Structure 1
Amino acid sequence: MMIALFTMPLWLLPILAFLPLILILKSKQVRRTNLPPGPPKLPIIGNLHQLGELPHRSLRLLSKEYGPIMHLEFGGMPTVVVSSAEIASEMMKSHDLDCCSRPDLMGPRRLSYNFYDIAFGPYNEYWREMRKVCVLELFSVKRVQSYNSIREERVGSMINSISKSSSSTPINLSEMLFALTDDITCRVAFGKSYKGRDFDNGRFGEAVNEAMTMLGSFSGADFFPYVGWIMDKFTGLHGRRERCFHEFDHFYQNVIDEHLKNERDESEHEDIIDVLLKVGRDYTGAGSLTHDHIKGLLMNIFLGGVDTGAVLMEWAMTELAKNPEVMNKVQEEIRNTVGKKGKVVEAVIDQLKYLKMVVKETLRLHPPAPLLVPRETMRHFTINGYDIYPKTRIQVNVYAIGRDPKYWKNPEEFMPERFMDNSIDYKGTHFEFLPFGAARRVCPRMHMGVSLVELTLASLLYAFDWGLPDGIKKEDIDMDEELGVTVQKKVPLYLVPINRTWDSEDNS
């Protein structure tokens, strides 16, 4: 549940306007007892005022006072926040089936609310069928490997572009990494890049930016049942969301029609739409796989995949710039392994053990989604002696768990070596390290995302040495966060690329 709260006067006005109705509805709620501890709440808005601009940080501070399992009220939504590996394990392992549904979010994150939603869809037979399609057909190891050539070609193009820039001029690495993930996601999903192409009344990039803004915005409908949609009408969010939805609907339909008519170049790689159309023709599961369901899956794949990989690479390069000894060590590993071959290919990535540790350490300190997408309980159960009631949102604070000294030595320090000679990974089996979630709701795209991150970082560190802009010391690098769909750097990362000079002592 990523929340970017408006300033108090803006969103308080519509609440006050409908205060009598809200009070009547809340008075009808059943009083629940034996709840986990939590901070006092205000009338109507509950604990919303305590979230601040960075909810994962605010909730971490609250958990230090109220414990690793807390009960809060966000508007009219009862929410349990989990901030320890033990309770996360019990919640998502022992009680996974009790709380593996999703809240009925009709706010900005539900741009695809008329489509099937694999990320936010409720837990039912059809969700299970669609998840199976994603895991077996779209994001299997074999399928991800089939896109190797696309990743290698586009990363190589970015490296060539950087090489042509002035060696003394800082580049906006943040912007470049977001453009890369955008381009690759387009090519994998749609078969080609739509960068700069017409998109109804605007451009594709502008439409994506608008969608990201909607996804990271506060929506009254998410927190105030029955009346929240009125707040969204008042703020204009509802209208923007509708326009965004219809633009993407029209775009996706045009792309699907191109595939059905085979109006594409023969050289184009089989993409995700090809796969889904084939699955739709052969589908024998519950219901059917319609064009609308394909659009919904595309919405999840595209909007969920662009930000996370770019943000992870941005933070990794930031941490390496702040820790030059770590950068030197990972560069030595990459250059010794690749030698004078001129570029990094995915076939060598498995040999780069220290690089993989750098990626893991970045995920620990800077998980792209520090608060996992909320779950919703489907039935009553108890945990740690507390009652958890149906229709309660479960929020796991992986940011807090990843920086807990109980599990990590010197947790605020960037130390990739902490992952040496241990089996801790991000696949959902180690609950002290959950950047992609766990159990039924674990992210099915993690292998595809991490593959791109590893290849890109290895290529950047192989081809260039990296310096800071004139007058900037490593202590001056801005580490402030900014909340959107993911948590990215508030200030873009500018670094100076220095073309690597090979000499006779380099390994071949």
Structure 2
Amino acid sequence: MELFSSSVLVILCFVTVWAWVHNSNSRIRKSIKPLPPGPYPLPIIGNILQLGQSPHKSLAKLSKKYGPLMYLKLGSLDTVVVSSPEMAKEILQKHDQVFSDRTILVASQAHDYHNFSLGFLPVGGQWKNLRKICKEHMFSTPQLDSSKSLRQEKLHKLRDYVQECCHRGQAINFAEAAFKVTLSLMSATLFSIDLAPFDSNSCHELKEMVRSMMEVLGTPNLADFFPVLKRVDPQGIKHKSNICIGKLLDFFEDIINQRLQSRDSSEVQKDLLEALLNISQRNESELSSNQIKYLLMDLFSAGTDTTATTVEWAMTELLRNPEKMSKAQQEIRGVIGENEQVEESDISRLPYLQAVVKEVLRCHPAGPLLVPHKAETDVEIDGYMIPKNAQVLVNFWAIGRDSNVWFNPDSFEPERFLDKKIDYKGQDFELIPFGSGRRMCPGYPLAHRMLHLILATLVHRFNWKLEGGMKPEEVDLNDKFGITLEKAVPLKAVPTHVF
């Protein structure tokens, strides 16, 4: 009887405490700001079904109804979607520190990628050190200038390849050609090896590894929305991620080992890998050999896929709009001449080409939702409460297509940038394809040079004819959603004239 009385007393105390906490939490919830508006979530699954096959477009449509700061419940994951320059500035600049963390995807946990990747690491000592190394040894203006001869050499090979296709009347697959040249440029810059000569198909396997990695990281995953499913891996995404990330890590480990074996017997290379190995040998705690492997993979995969995709979209829009193509060609030929090769110092003298690149990035951003941010704490934005640990998506695709921001937003009009001093360096929130704030893509200075140079090389000395007699207006503009927004149907065209 005494035991029973004690048990009842414990239960009563528990119920009393629970009721007090519940009532206190209810009072707190009533006193704080409301969540941003959003569509009503279904039980358990929330708003998952409303993402569809093209989340960037579905979310843009929803934001027109619920506003530029929108809340969704994706399973158990609180998600806030930002769809205006003003709200993007609040998140990425004014409250940059609060939103500097990343949402850790299940796919990114393969091979502990999230614990080493510059893209997923929390802002702290390791992240700051890697960011500093990238800036000093690869993306600073002096470093980029010192490696420009490598880029010129690879661009010359691209020009020769296009010229050969012209003589043969052979169509060029722009996705393949752009990937080869960016792969060649990145491999030469990182570790002085040309992994993608134009007369070889040797890069196909590597391309598939990179594309598979980008695809698996960009696929909506039920295990991210319902953590209880992580071990089950219902879509097999973690399994696929283990395979493609594992292959890439093995590839870069082989590159590093080959360099270590050859350092004493051959000429010292002046590339990023050599700089990283020197840092590691001086102080292993500053940069381990394992970190080098992950850093190379980050730089390599991000630099090749996004640049190649953007070049293909640029050629797509220029071929769909012959008058824009003609303007770009006339400018380049007038400034450079007929026989010279475009150089990096020429970019500043080509305002229309710069406008074309900006317009392509506006219409077809490589990362339509940027990389997800995460709220470190509860924070009030525009009168609404963003809950701690909420995933924050900046829908830059929606910003680029917003008629309140851009006149005639669905039309490809590079001229809109000729009279506007808008750039993509992270300060003009109408145009943030590389993000903004401390999490902005560190490689944008190199991407800036590569995009202009590759595009200029393709249009400078060549005219183009669509394959199969296709008319310009028939060129497909459908995209395929992922961490990189690829063109659904590859673009092919035949170069028809050489100066």
**TM-score category by the smaller chain?**
0.7 to 0.9
Q: Do 1:115 and 1:295's aligned partners in 2 also have CA atoms closer than 8 Å?
A: no
> Considering only CA atoms, is the larger Rg found in Structure 1 or Structure 2?
2
Q: Do 1:81 and 1:394's aligned partners in 2 also have CA atoms closer than 8 Å?
A: yes
Q: What displacement does 1:70 show?
A: 0.4
Deviation larger for 350-359 or 30-39: 30-39
Alpha-carbon distance in structure 1 between the residues aligned to 2:280 and 2:263: 20
Q: 1:110 to 1:186 in 2, by over 3 A?
A: farther
| Equivalent residue in structure 2 for 1:204, among 200, 203, 206 | 206
Q: 1:134 to 1:37 in 2, by over 3 A?
A: same
Task: Give me the CA root mean square deviation.
Answer: 2.5
Aligned to 1:344: 342
Alpha-carbon distance in structure 2 between the residues aligned to 1:148 and 1:298: 20
Alpha-carbon distance in structure 2 between the residues aligned to 1:246 and 1:472: 41
Q: Deviations over 1:409-437 (max 9, x none)?
A: 11111111111133210010011111110
Q: Do 2:174 and 2:492's aligned partners in 1 also have CA atoms closer than 8 Å?
A: yes
Q: What displacement does 1:157 show?
A: 0.9
Give, as a single letter, the amino acid of the residue that structure 2 aligns with 1:376: K
Match status 1:357 vs 2:355: yes
Q: Do 1:107 and 1:220's aligned partners in 2 also have CA atoms closer than 8 Å?
A: no
Deviation larger for 373-382 or 118-127: 118-127
Alpha-carbon distance in structure 1 between the residues aligned to 2:209 and 2:315: 28
Aligned to 1:493: 491
Give the SS at the match of 1:79: strand
| Equivalent residue in structure 2 for 1:393, among 388, 391, 394 | 391
| Equivalent residue in structure 1 for 2:479, among 466, 478, 481 | 481
Match status 1:402 vs 2:400: yes
> What is the TM-score with the length of structure 2 in the denominator?
0.87
Give the SS at the match of 1:129: helix
| Equivalent residue in structure 1 for 2:420, among 410, 418, 422 | 422
Q: 1:220 to 1:146 in 2, by over 3 A?
A: farther
Give, as a single letter, the amino acid of the residue that structure 1 aligns with 2:250: H
* Percent identity for Structure 1 against Structure 2: 39
Q: What displacement does 1:325 show?
A: 1.0
Q: 1:314 to 1:267 in 2, by over 3 A?
A: farther
Give the SS at the match of 2:455: helix
Alpha-carbon distance in structure 1 between the residues aligned to 2:235 and 2:307: 31
Matches within 5 A, 1:399-478: 399-478=397-476
Alpha-carbon distance in structure 1 between the residues aligned to 2:211 and 2:427: 34
Aligned to 1:276: 276
Deviation larger for 43-52 or 355-364: 43-52
Give, as a single letter, the amino acid of the residue that structure 2 aligns with 1:72: L
Match status 1:216 vs 2:218: yes
Alpha-carbon distance in structure 2 between the residues aligned to 1:209 and 1:440: 26
Matches within 5 A, 1:41-190: 41-108=41-108, 113=113, 116-166=116-166, 168-190=169-191
Alpha-carbon distance in structure 2 between the residues aligned to 1:114 and 1:430: 30
Q: What displacement does 1:283 show?
A: 5.3
Q: Do 1:115 and 1:293's aligned partners in 2 also have CA atoms closer than 8 Å?
A: no
Q: What displacement does 1:220 show?
A: 3.2
Q: What displacement does 1:111 show?
A: 6.0
Q: Do 1:312 and 1:363's aligned partners in 2 also have CA atoms closer than 8 Å?
A: yes
5+ unaligned residues in a row in structure 1: which ranges?
1-26, 502-508
Q: Deviations over 1:194-238 (max 9, x none)?
A: 458999xx943443343334233343332222x232232x44333
Give, as a single letter, the amino acid of the residue that structure 2 aligns with 1:383: I
Q: Deviations over 1:250-302 (max 9, x none)?
A: 32222112222335996785222112122334459xx5210111112112111
Match status 1:378 vs 2:376: yes
Give the SS at the match of 1:431: coil
Alpha-carbon distance in structure 2 between the residues aligned to 1:492 and 1:308: 15
Alpha-carbon distance in structure 1 between the residues aligned to 2:109 and 2:466: 37
Aligned residues: 467
Alpha-carbon distance in structure 1 between the residues aligned to 2:354 and 2:312: 16
Give, as a single letter, the amino acid of the residue that structure 1 aligns with 2:253: Q
Q: Do 1:79 and 1:394's aligned partners in 2 also have CA atoms closer than 8 Å?
A: yes
Q: Deviations over 1:320-345 (max 9, x none)?
A: 11111111111111011111333222
> What is the TM-score with the length of structure 1 in the denominator?
0.86
Matches within 5 A, 1:320-339: 320-339=318-337
5+ unaligned residues in a row in structure 2: which ranges?
1-21
Alpha-carbon distance in structure 2 between the residues aligned to 1:312 and 1:209: 14
Alpha-carbon distance in structure 2 between the residues aligned to 1:462 and 1:245: 38
Aligned to 2:261: 261
Q: What displacement does 1:353 show?
A: 1.3
Q: What displacement does 1:318 show?
A: 0.8
Q: Do 2:179 and 2:308's aligned partners in 1 also have CA atoms closer than 8 Å?
A: yes
Q: Do 2:174 and 2:312's aligned partners in 1 also have CA atoms closer than 8 Å?
A: yes
Q: Deviations over 1:109-144 (max 9, x none)?
A: 866526511111112232222222222322112222
Q: Do 2:114 and 2:120's aligned partners in 1 also have CA atoms closer than 8 Å?
A: no
Q: Deviations over 1:68-115 (max 9, x none)?
A: 100001221101000011111111111111111111223258665265
Deviation larger for 123-132 or 318-327: 123-132
Deviation larger for 352-361 or 469-478: 469-478
In proportion to residue count, which structure has more helix?
2
Q: Deviations over 1:462-500 (max 9, x none)?
A: 120112234311111100111233111111111121123
Deviation larger for 271-280 or 459-468: 271-280
Give the SS at the match of 2:80: strand
Deviation larger for 255-264 or 312-321: 255-264
Q: 1:219 to 1:106 in 2, by over 3 A?
A: same
Give the SS at the match of 1:80: strand
Q: 1:221 to 1:315 in 2, by over 3 A?
A: same
Q: 1:169 to 1:243 in 2, by over 3 A?
A: closer
Deviation larger for 215-224 or 434-443: 215-224
Alpha-carbon distance in structure 1 between the residues aligned to 2:376 and 2:211: 34
Q: Do 2:35 and 2:384's aligned partners in 1 also have CA atoms closer than 8 Å?
A: yes
Alpha-carbon distance in structure 2 between the residues aligned to 1:294 and 1:96: 27
Q: Deviations over 1:122-171 (max 9, x none)?
A: 12232222222222322112222222122211121122112112554432
